[in-house]
A and B are shown apart, each in its own frame.
Chain A
Amino acid sequence: MSSLTLYASDVVALARKDLRLELRARDTLPAMLLFVLSTLVVFHFALPTGTSADAAYGLLWIAIVFTALLGLARAWAPEREGGALDGLVLAPCDRSAIWLGKTLAVLVFLTAAELVALPAFALFFAPVDLVAVAGVVLASVGICTVGSLLAAMAAASRGREVILPLLFLPLAIPLIVGGVGAGISPQGASYLSFLALYDLVFAILAWATFEYVITE
């Protein structure tokens, strides 16, 4: 088995573990689904009548980002509560595989929430086109790659849940710009390429630096 396939199987195993844990515990995913739905409903009441679809679209992204934060806050909880993070660090797999596995798991949760959010948004507010969906997909990748690393940092802090949004929101701003732009701008494609650039730059950075974040 080449080292690449070994790496990939480590990643998949780690992600599968998280998904299976969630399937059994069912505490994070239902919360995310309900949260994103409730937020969209709240937006209806928060927006004055006659608000443009574009403004509503901006709020969709707020809903997505904060739902992601909800999921990310719990992302490392299984490792923290079980004391399993030390065990993972000692495991023979590459440390960055831990990050990638976690990112994939969070991405699955976020995608599930978006599968609820986007139809709901199209129903409540305005239709969503293909470019917009592509924007959601690309931005979600960015949210999860950066978010899972920041969540690991937050897990090391005494502030825990409070500090994660502070760390995450400035880094999320370019993603929101990209996502909203993809949805409402006629030059949506340039926003999509920007999102791809963000994903590339920060995925490489997160992949390279993760081991420094979790080793004691």
Chain B
Amino acid sequence: MSSRNNLPLLAFATAALLGIAVALALLVAPEDVDQGVSQRIFYFHVPIALTAYLCFGLGAWKALRLLWVGGERRDLESYTWIHQGTIFGALTLITGSIWAKASWGVWWSWGSNQLVLFLVLFLFYCAYFMLRFSVDEGARRERICAVYALFGVALIPVSFFAIRLASDFIHPTVFTREGPQMTGTMFGTFLVCWAAITLLAYVMYRIELVGKRTDANLRELREALS
């Protein structure tokens, strides 16, 4: 399957949309009455988190298709989606931590359920890469990684419940941040930022996939020629 030639166009659209999103988030959107300027971090932090979930979900979907239907390209696609998920997951943790420092004065709070969930997932998916690089290449590695990706996606809701349960009792100090009472402009800004970040993840995925497929093709060529 050849990648359609819309990638440059897609990348340009992403750049444009991101520019608009940043302008909206930093300049156009009204400042939040309760939280002040630091609330603007929300416009990127939440879309990044949502995008990370999406990437992990797509990675698991490709993995499921790999186990169910087969097909050579699905392993690389699943791997690349999980890679994007991990990148955006790391970004979620970092932007979340900065937001925590700005809002509550601490870089980390075990009371922030979303941050804790992402920490657990980040650990899980880092182990994915360790697993992938420690198994010899081949069909078995593809299947093992696919199974692990499926476990990851099952872990997301289970961990979410676990952390919620735990915060009720085990970690009683909870900083609450009321969901912003969003005006229309704020909500519109949020949607644009969400679209921009999602598109960014997709473009990064496509570019990385091209690189990985080319790598694989080159290796085959090298073996054929030598």
Contact = CB atoms under 8 A, between A and B. Distances in A.
B67 A212 contact: yes
Nearest to A165: B127
Interface string B111-152: 000000000110110110011001110011101101110110
Interface stretch (A22-30, A90-98, A114-122, A167-175): A167-175
A213 B159 CA distance: 24
B175 interface: no
Contacts of A180: 170
Given A159-B134, A163-B134, A213-B143, A194 B161 contact: yes
B127 A209 contact: no
A177 B170 contact: yes
B106 interface: no
A201 interface: yes
Contacts of B170: 177, 180-181, 184-185
Contact of B130 (A163, A171, A202): A163
B82 to A, nearest CB: 14
Contacts of A205: 150-151, 154
A157 B134 CA distance: 5
Q: Does more than half of chain A's interface fall in helix, strand or loop, or is it mixed?
A: helix
A215 interface: yes
B131 A167 contact: yes
A6 interface: no
Interface size class of B (residues with CB under 8 A): 20 to 34
B165 interface: yes
Contact of A173 (B120, B135, B140, B169): B120
Contacts of A174: 155, 158-159, 161-162
B135 A177 contact: no
B76 to A, nearest CB: 18
B166 interface: yes
A170 B140 CA distance: 23
A89 B93 CA distance: 42
A202 B127 contact: no
Interface in A197-212: 197-198, 201-202, 205, 209, 212
B127 A177 contact: no
Given A171-B151, A185-B169, 13 more contacts: A153-B131, A156-B141, A163-B130, A163-B131, A166-B127, A174-B155, A177-B163, A181-B165, A184-B169, A187-B168, A202-B154, A205-B150, A215-B140
Interface of B: 67, 120-121, 123-124, 126-127, 130-131, 134-136, 139-141, 143-144, 146-148, 150-151, 154-155, 158-159, 161-163, 165-166, 168-170
27 contacts: A157-B134, A157-B135, A158-B136, A166-B127, A167-B127, A167-B148, A170-B120, A170-B121, A170-B124, A174-B155, A177-B162, A177-B166, A185-B169, A187-B168, A187-B169, A191-B165, A194-B161, A194-B162, A198-B162, A201-B158, A202-B154, A205-B151, A205-B154, A212-B147, A213-B143, A213-B144, A215-B143
